[in-house]
Amino acid sequence: MTATKKANTKKEIVDDLLIITHFMDDVLQNNEEPKNVYTFCQKHQIKETDFYSFFGSFDSLKEFVWEKFIENALTTIKKDKNYASFSDKDKLLTLYFTLFEILTLNRTYVMFYLKENRNGLKNLKDLKRFRTHFKDFVKEIISKEDNPVLGKLNKIKEPTYSEGAWLQFLFLLKFWIDDTSKGFEKTDVLIEKSVTTVVGLLDTKQFENLFDLGKFLWKEKM
């Protein structure tokens, strides 16, 4: 019994994950954010200095929560020994399915910030760092081409397609928020269909043809 008491009274190590766990629990239990950092720290016996060593505010903490969502998804899919041999479509599909699994595990929290509270979808600002990781992943897929000519084209395509993929993700996120089907099966179907469309655009030869036309016109001018 003595050993059990010692284990139960052992002080928690304060780190970023402990802080966000307490924050998310407070939001879910009270259906509102903690009033301020001071009361939050008092409740959970955390020094304010410890809180501020990880986060400058609740806003930065909320950004970090979303960043962890996508970091966990990317870490999970890249652990697959076959990941490197995946097609562009399979890489994107795997990211989406893994990401939405993680979001589903945290659905009540996500719903609070993106639907239930008064700011609603205005809280997309919390996805700032999430968006950076997401777009970098899409650019990584596009930038794999070794051909130097196509490499230049990819520099043009990267911002266009990464932004397009981001808008597609927001569309899927909004659909998932409103999805009431069992196991969110309608969202799964939409992911399949939309990813097929986007990857089809990534494989298009329009940019290459445009580049060839430009070279031809330049030579004719010369």
Each domain of the chain, given as residue ranges in start order, spans 1-56, 59-221
d(CA 139, CA 157): 9
Higher pLDDT, 24 or 210: 24
What's residue 5's pLDDT?
A: 45
Sign of CA dihedral 85, 87, 88, 91: negative
Residue 25 has pLDDT above 70, yes or no: yes
Confidence of residue 68 (pLDDT cuts 50, 70, 90): very high
DSSP letters for 115-152: IISTTGGGGGGGGHHHHHHHHHHHHHHHTT---HHHHH
User: What are the structure tokens assigned to 160, written together?
Assistant: 């266009």
In tens, the pLDDT along 169-217 reads 988 998 999 999 999 999 999 999 888 876 666 555 544 444 454 444 4
Residue 12 has pLDDT above 70, yes or no: yes
Residue 154 has pLDDT above 50, yes or no: yes
d(CA 121, CA 177): 11
Q: Are 63 and 129 a contacting pair, CB within 8 Å?
A: yes
Return the exposure string of 185-205: e unless at least 16 CB atoms fall within 10 Å of the residue's CB, then b: eebbebbeebbeebbeebeee
Maximum pairwise Cα distance, the chain: 90
Nearest-5° Cα angle at 204, 88 to 146: 60
Confidence of residue 18 (pLDDT cuts 50, 70, 90): very high
Is the full-model pTM beyond 0.85?
Answer: no
Q: How many CB atoms lie within 10 A of CB 95?
A: 22
In tens, the pLDDT along 76-131 reads 999 999 999 998 889 999 999 999 999 999 999 999 988 766 565 666 888 999 99
d(CA 117, CA 136): 30
Residue 54 has pLDDT above 60, yes or no: yes
